Amino acid sequence: MATHRILVCDPLAEEGLHILEEIGEVQTCFDFTEQQLIEAIKDADAMVVRSGTQVTAPIIQASTRLKIIARAGVGVDNIDLDAATRQGIIVVNCPTGNTVATAEHALALLLAAARNIPQANISLRAGRWERGRFMGRQVAGKTLAIIGLGKIGTEVARRATALGMEVVAYDPYVAPDHASSLGVQMQSLAEVLAEADFITIHTALTDETQGLIDAEKLEHVKPDAIIINCARAGIVDEDALLTALQEGKIGGAALDVFAGGSEPNAELIALDNVIATPHLGASTTEAQVNVAVDAAKQVVDVLRGQAPRWPVHC
């Protein structure tokens, strides 16, 4: 029987690579240009990516044997789903593998912002003792608005409730019973933004959510509110956010994703009321193993003629 050829286009945990190697020949294609991927994909049966690789229509159209594109993570906005559908290629993701890691990072950013931890750390390392400058606020009794009460938003809600926060949420696709079971009150987007002391984003980036939090929405946020984004940069209008922060219309931001990707807006991340991390939401050892294994198992299932666990459809 012919060996399957599998392209792995971004770093993948060894546990996932071992699973793939049992069913075929694995070729790593890190940092390939679009043209290089067009050449590499021509006789590939499967492709595994994370967020670093853009799977464009020309790449997909160049394939002759490709059966599956597996995203070792949640978001599939780096894959042209329409092109994959036209080619009859299955696209899968791994929506549960990094759920807890991302939820924990969102809460870590929330707490760090509430207590000015990064700024205080920098100050102390520079030889200054500035207790008064870094007066923070406790989160117990404060209101957290969750935009997107899916898997990650749900885990954030559970942890925030344990911290004594009041949790409200906006998600037009979540059943009220689910929210009620978490002790979360569902409201309109305008209502949660106006009420919240902290706002955390946990929705997918789609045409509907692109620019969801724009200049007009930010006008209705409390002047001391803090926005946390560990989801996708495009959900929050970054230019509008920068202006609101500079003008003191909101209290601060804690960001893990940026419109410029690995080249974030230097003016934005230099602000004293901004905490920035380099897309660390899923960066735990446990999460990386989980998504690598999940992606690899789905590739094996499809190449063996079985249905994958988490198919994505346009």
Which residue numbers are catalytic? 232, 263, 279
Q: Is 46 helix (H, G, I), strand (E, B) or coil?
A: strand
What does the alpha-carbon distance between residue 246 and residue 252 come to, in Å, rounded to a whole number? 10
What does the alpha-carbon distance between residue 132 and residue 149 come to, in Å, rounded to a whole number? 37
Letter for the amino acid at 127?
G
Q: CA torsion sign, 196 to 198 to 204 to 207?
A: positive
- What would the two tokens of residue 221 be? 């946020």
How far, in whole angstroms, is CA 22 from its chain's centroid? 30
Cβ atoms of 103 and 159 closer than 8 Å: yes
What does the alpha-carbon distance between residue 276 and residue 256 come to, in Å, rounded to a whole number? 6
User: Following CA atoms 213, 215, 219, 222 in sequence, which dihedral angle do they give, to the nearest 10 degrees?
Assistant: 50
Smallest CA-to-CA distance from 227 within 209, 245, 215 is with: 245
Smallest CA-to-CA distance from 113 within 264, 267, 245, 247 is with: 245
Letter for the amino acid at 94?
C
Please give the helix or strand (H or E) that residue 15 lies within, else none.
helix 14-21
How far, in whole angstroms, is CA 216 from its chain's centroid? 24
Smallest CA-to-CA distance from 157 within 100, 73, 226, 211 is with: 100
What does the alpha-carbon distance between residue 202 and residue 169 come to, in Å, rounded to a whole number? 10
Cβ atoms of 130 and 116 closer than 8 Å: no
